[in-house]
């Protein structure tokens, strides 16, 4: 008999999502389900995964959780978020419904520039306090790892301040947070007519400073018409690569300007959004091994009708990933469960494929696939107990929190039934 610190047993369905690589094609639908499954946890790691009968015969523990009638699955991984900001922007949401243009919203004091002004004025402590509330809510909805971007400072000091706030949140919260530098989110107001100067600051000042302080694993850019064009993006990302940053990209969200193609050329880890991706872009991404991250909550929140061509990318053999894009403007959605619902109804993913895209494949998009994203012996014990009879129930119960319990690194950090 082996000793375990915690055993979860009698799960109606245990979704292991076992794999040694990101899942593609029809394999995305294989959740590696164990009926009447159980997990044994020792310390922060998974020590055994099998049927309840097998685990009970091999492991002993003083702490047993009974998951009868429930689904046990890996914690969600949300690999594209912007959780550090000051004020929410619900007024813009209403203005968009009223048919106001981007320019009208911007002139009324809204838009990304308002977030930039607020973040520049805020203290790091204020950003941490606000961020902690948001991240705690994500955790309660089953997200156990997130990627978090800077990008509302757009000056060296305020971008550093945002990244330091992210680093602090990683220390004080239960969430694992992977930091990304997004100084190229937009051109700040003061360099609107002098883009070259801002690019120079990005390359000569911000990137080396962020690297020196070791504040970000990734460098991201908003590559889009009227923001950073392909040529500017290539220059900035090439410099970032030289300094040792890995690359993520906001690519082809609104127009097919060749963002996906650039992601492939530059060897980016991910290309995100891709609503307007070209067939050539899909082909290039596949050849170069770029992982596509799709953000249906953004399309939905903006009230747009055209979603990223997920089925086409799956048919091309790409390992689809889902994320919230949580931010104060275009997607104030912090729930991976809602994203999974939208991916099914709006992009034609099956519930099984959407779950794979939100766990295992999402972990690989953060280069953490060997540590999180599935329930396998030796992996970190980031596990959800979901109050639902089968995995198919998850996207079907739209807009609700189906989480019963969140286990992070082997410890129960949220218990919905004890609220
Ligand atoms: Zn984004």
Instruction: Please give the share of the chain, as a percent, with pLDDT higher than 70.
Output: 100
Residues 399/382, Cβ–Cβ less than 8 Å: no
Contacts of 337 (CB under 8 A, 6+ apart): 76, 141, 142, 394, 395, 400, 401, 402, 403
Ligand 1 center from residue 81 Cα (angstroms): 6
- pLDDT for position 419: 64
Report how far ligand 1's centroid is from the alpha carbon of 171 (Å).
Answer: 23
Cβ atoms 404, 141 nearer than 8 A: no
How far does the centroid of ligand 1 lie from the alpha carbon of residue 287, in Å? Answer: 24
Please state which CATH number belongs to domain 77-332: 3.20.20.140
pLDDT > 80? residue 64: yes
Q: How far apart are CA 288 and CA 279, in angstroms?
A: 14
Cα–ligand 1 centroid distance for 82 (angstroms): 7
pLDDT given for residue 203 in this prediction = 98
CA of 235 to the centre of ligand 1 (A): 20
Residues of the chain with CATH 3.20.20.140: 77-332
- Per-residue pLDDT of 202-256, as tens digits, reads 999 999 999 999 999 999 999 998 899 999 999 999 999 999 999 999 999 989 9
Ligand 1 center from residue 294 Cα (angstroms): 10
pLDDT at 101 over 90: no
**Distance between Cα 221 and ligand 1 center (Å):** 9
| Interval 244-269: pLDDT, tens | 999 999 999 989 999 999 999 999 99
Give residue 129 CA to ligand 1 midpoint distance, Å: 21
What does the pLDDT average to over 46-64?
98
Supply φ then ψ for residue 297, to 5 degrees: -65, -25
Ion ligand 1 — residues with CB under 5 Å? 325
Contacts (Cβ under 8 Å, ≥6 apart) of 43? 5, 410
Residues of the chain with CATH 2.30.40.10: 2-75+375-418
Q: Burial level of 393, CB count in 10 A (0-12/13-18/19+)?
A: middle
Cα gap 128→365, rounded to integer Å: 25
**Domain spanning 2-75+375-418: CATH 3.30.460.10:** no
Averaged pLDDT, 61-75:
98
Is the confidence at residue 127, as pLDDT, over 90? yes
Which pLDDT belongs to residue 104? 84
Q: Taking the model in full, what pTM does it have?
A: 0.98
Distance from Cα 57 to the centre of ligand 1, integer Å: 47
Between the CA of residue 34 and those of 18, 27, 381, what are the distances in Å? Answer: 11, 16, 17
pLDDT tens sequence across 340-352: 999 999 999 999 9
Closest among 297, 260, 296, 298 to 276, alpha carbons compared = 260
Å from CA of 148 to ligand 1 middle? 10
């Amino acid at each position: 008999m082996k000793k375990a610190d915690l055993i979860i047993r009698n799960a109606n369905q245990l979704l292991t999502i076992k794999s040694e690589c990101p899942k593609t094609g029809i394999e995305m639908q294989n959740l590696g389900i164990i009926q009447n499954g159980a997990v044994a946890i020792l310390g922060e790691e998974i020590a055994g995964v099998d049927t309840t009968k097998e685990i009970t015969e091999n492991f002993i523990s003083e702490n047993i959780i009974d998951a009868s009638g429930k689904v046990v699955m890996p914690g969600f991984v949300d690999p594209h978020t912007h959780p550090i900001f000051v004020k929410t922007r619900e007024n813009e949401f209403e203005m968009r419904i009223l048919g106001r243009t981007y320019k009208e919203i911007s002139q009324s004091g809204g838009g990304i520039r308002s977030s930039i002004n607020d973040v520049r004025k805020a203290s790091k402590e204020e950003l941490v306090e606000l961020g902690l509330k948001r991240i705690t809510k994500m955790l309660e909805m089953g997200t156990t790892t997130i990627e978090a971007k800077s990008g509302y400072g757009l000056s060296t000091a305020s971008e550093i301040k945002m990244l330091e706030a992210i680093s602090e949140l990683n220390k004080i919260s239960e969430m694992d947070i992977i930091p990304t530098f997004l100084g190229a989110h937009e051109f700040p107001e003061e360099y609107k007519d002098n883009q070259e100067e801002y690019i120079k600051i990005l390359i000569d000042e911000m990137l080396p400073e962020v690297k020196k302080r070791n504040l970000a694993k990734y460098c991201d850019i908003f590559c889009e018409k009227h923001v950073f064009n392909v040529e500017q993006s290539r220059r900035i990302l090439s410099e970032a690569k030289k300094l040792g940053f890995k690359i993520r990209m906001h690519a082809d969200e609104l127009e097919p300007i060749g963002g996906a193609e650039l992601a492939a050329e530059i060897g980016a880890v991910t290309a995100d959004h891709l609503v307007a991706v070209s067939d050539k872009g899909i082909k290039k991404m596949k050849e170069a091994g770029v992982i596509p991250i799709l953000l249906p909550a953004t399309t939905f929140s903006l009230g747009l009708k055209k979603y990223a061509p997920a089925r086409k990318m799956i048919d091309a053999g790409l390992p689809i990933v889902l994320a919230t894009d949580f931010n104060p403007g275009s997607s104030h959605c912090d729930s991976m469960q809602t994203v999974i619902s939208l991916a099914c109804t709006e992009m034609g993913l099956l519930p099984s494929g959407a779950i794979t895209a939100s766990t295992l494949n999402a972990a690989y998009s953060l280069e953490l696939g060997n540590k999180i994203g599935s329930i396998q012996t030796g992996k970190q014990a980031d596990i959800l107990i979901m109050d639902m009879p089968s995995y198919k129930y998850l996207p079907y119960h739209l807009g609700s929190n189906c989480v019963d319990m969140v286990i992070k690194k082997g410890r129960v950090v949220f218990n919905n039934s004890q609220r």
